[in-house]
Chains A and B, each alone.
Chain A
Amino acid sequence: MAADAPSSELGVGRPTKRRPGSAVGGLPVADSRPVLDGDAVLGLRCTVCRYPVAQTGIPWCPSCYGPLEPARFDTGGTAFSSTVARIPVGTRKAPFALAYLDLDDGPRVLVHLAEPEVVPLGARLRITGMDEGDLLAEVAS
């Protein structure tokens, strides 16, 4: 939605309803992004249906309402889709690539790609680290 907005300084420096976060000059907010811990993405898994989710603090399995337990997800998986953003977002300078990565036996997570390129659907990706708090993945060799 965005592209044809005014180029003037309208809105700059005004308090807004949106919480932009400290990355773009707002107040800091709690980080809700998935976390990489060594060789695994941290999250929760349902003890009944095995539903995986890369977040914490939720009260029950959102798929079957069963109890959850802490889980570690493999860092490898396949690309559901990807794109290259050609506009700056937050602290990110263009171009930068994003992908939805379906982790093996794990959840779908949003990752940044090491190279600013679109990858084929189903491409094998592996999360190799974190960059500014974002999961960073590259095409598996």
Chain B
Amino acid sequence: MIQAMLWGVGTSDYGLQPERRVEALAWTAVGEAVADAGIAVDEIDAIIVGSVFGPPGVATRVQRGIGLPGVPMWTIENACASGTSAYHEAVQTVRGGRYRCVLVLGVDQMSTLFSGAIVPEATDPEGAASLPLPGVYAMGAQRYVQEFGVTPEQLAAVAVKNKRNGLDNPRAQLRKAAPTIDEVLSSRMIADPLTFLQCCPTSDGAGALIVGGDRGNPDDLRIEASVSVSGALWDHRSKEVWGYACVARAAEQAYAEAGRTPAEMDVLEVHDAFTIGEIMTLEALGLAPLGKGAELAPSGHTARDGAQPVNPSGGLLSRGHPLGGTGPAQIAEIAWQLRGRAGARQITRHRVGMVETMGGAAAGMDGNACVVTILSTS
């Protein structure tokens, strides 16, 4: 198997940018990724795009601006994990020798689609029953509150940590002063127990990645593992909250592929669409036992100067969440951290990093898809 490497990363700004063409967000990201990889544009021999809301044909309209006529190109929709799913497919094609240099693009523009919260999908049984996405996570959070005694303050600590981290991220959507625990808890309730400041903002943005083989460049990052799993039945037999099993399934395979343990992860970017998401995910990733993930932020373990920094970029809670655009932004942050070029956000120990992206939430399944990847300095 060919060793897949991450050659370059690039992103647009993240935030509400309805005045920009969605293609322009992508071109910004692609331009930066190509320059970062130090390649000629025509070295790219395939394009894989991750996007949820497109619009349909967005990949081709992006392509028109960058050339590469006739290059194989396809678009993947895996909910919030669309961007990292596109990355995973790029890794697989490089490993198998099908392509030598793949451009991955994740893009979504939410501000021109929804005027408020994401409207649930009417063809989904639970979407039709008016279950909003915050409600999906809130039901998980209620179990953590009632079953494990997780406190509102522990939930809020995740938001405080990530929004504070995001102050140092010039591309993040939320760059105001970080809130206190009290401010997080006194912001308006969205779905009990999740308050407004525990929900990530919808956002516009794009991220691009260049994936290729081992060309002996010390700046390239070794892709030690890349795993993509789809959902499994989440039903009356499931004792864990929605999403947990899907993340755990991907994580188990990723650790096996890399031959690594959770303790070896120096830095992580994980799917904190809601505060409970980071808590539940870190348990599923093995950083804490079930029911103990809520202690990680208050204890400082996941702080930027802690033992295992989580979401040093500010995460979705600060950067914003343009669905397909999220995964590549997570991977870009890990790349900047591992190369020691994260500026004010730079963490001190940065050899091995992990990215996890979770997509949902179709009714009756524990996720639409989850992608976990492990990267290291080469």
* Stretch in B117-125, B221-229, B327-335 with 4+ CB within 8 Å of A: B117-125
Q: Mark B107-151, 1 if CB is under 8 A from A, else 0.
A: 000111111111111111110111111110011111100110000
- Taking a contact as CB atoms closer than 8 A, the residue among A29, A81, A135 that contacts B139 in the complex is A81
B68 close to A (CB within 8 Å): no
Q: Please measure, in the bound complex, the distance between the C-alpha atom of A32 and the C-alpha atom of B285, giving whole angstroms.
A: 34
A141 close to B (CB within 8 Å): no
A133 close to B (CB within 8 Å): yes
Give the size of the chain A interface in residues (CB under 8 angstroms): 63
Residues of A near B235 (CB, < 8 A) are: 53, 107-108
Q: Please measure, in the bound complex, the distance between the C-alpha atom of A89 and the C-alpha atom of B191, giving whole angstroms.
A: 12
A86 in contact with B18 (CB, 8 Å)? no
B241 close to A (CB within 8 Å): yes
A11 in contact with B129 (CB, 8 Å)? no
- A23-B122 in contact given A63-B233, A87-B191 (Cβ < 8 Å): yes
Give the size of the chain B interface in residues (CB under 8 angstroms): 64
B53 in contact with A5 (CB, 8 Å)? no
A87 in contact with B124 (CB, 8 Å)? no
- Taking a contact as CB atoms closer than 8 A, the residue among A3, A14, A87, A135 that contacts B201 in the complex is A3
B55 close to A (CB within 8 Å): yes
Q: Please measure, in the bound complex, the distance between the C-alpha atom of A107 and the C-alpha atom of B237, giving whole angstroms.
A: 9
Residue of chain A at shortest CB distance from B238 = A108
Residues of B near A63 (CB, < 8 A) are: 233
Tell me if A's interface is mostly helix, strand, loop or mixed.
loop
A110 in contact with B126 (CB, 8 Å)? yes
Q: Please measure, in the bound complex, the distance between the C-alpha atom of A118 and the C-alpha atom of B147, giving whole angstroms.
A: 14
- A19-B189 in contact given A63-B233, A83-B135, A112-B129 (Cβ < 8 Å): no
Q: Please measure, in the bound complex, the distance between the C-alpha atom of A90 and the C-alpha atom of B117, giving whole angstroms.
A: 11
Residue of chain B at shortest CB distance from A111 = B129
B273 in contact with A1 (CB, 8 Å)? yes
B142 in contact with A83 (CB, 8 Å)? yes
User: Which chain A residues (62-80) contact chain B, with CB distance < 8 Å?
Assistant: 62-63, 80
Residues of A near B120 (CB, < 8 A) are: 89-90
Residue of chain B at shortest CB distance from A134 = B129
- A5-B115 in contact given A21-B122, A87-B132 (Cβ < 8 Å): yes
Residue of chain A at shortest CB distance from B320 = A4
Residues of A near B173 (CB, < 8 A) are: 4
A20 in contact with B142 (CB, 8 Å)? no
A2 in contact with B116 (CB, 8 Å)? yes
Residues of B near A38 (CB, < 8 A) are: none
B190 in contact with A86 (CB, 8 Å)? yes
Residues of A near B274 (CB, < 8 A) are: 1
Q: Please measure, in the bound complex, the distance between the C-alpha atom of A53 and the C-alpha atom of B316, giving whole angstroms.
A: 34
Residue of chain B at shortest CB distance from A17 = B53
Residues of B near A57 (CB, < 8 A) are: none
Kindly list the 6 A-B residue pairs having the minimum CB-CB distance in the complex, ordered from nearest: A21-B122, A4-B201, A2-B117, A83-B138, A81-B139, A89-B130
Query: Could you list 22 A-B pairs, sorted by A, with CB under 8 Å?
Result: A2-B114, A3-B201, A5-B116, A6-B111, A7-B115, A11-B114, A18-B119, A19-B123, A29-B123, A31-B128, A32-B123, A32-B125, A63-B233, A81-B241, A85-B190, A86-B192, A89-B135, A98-B129, A107-B236, A110-B363, A118-B192, A121-B146
Chain A residues engaging chain B, CB cutoff 8 angstroms = 1-12, 14, 16-24, 26, 29-34, 52-53, 55, 62-63, 80-87, 89-92, 96, 98-100, 102-103, 106-108, 110, 112, 118, 120-121, 133-135
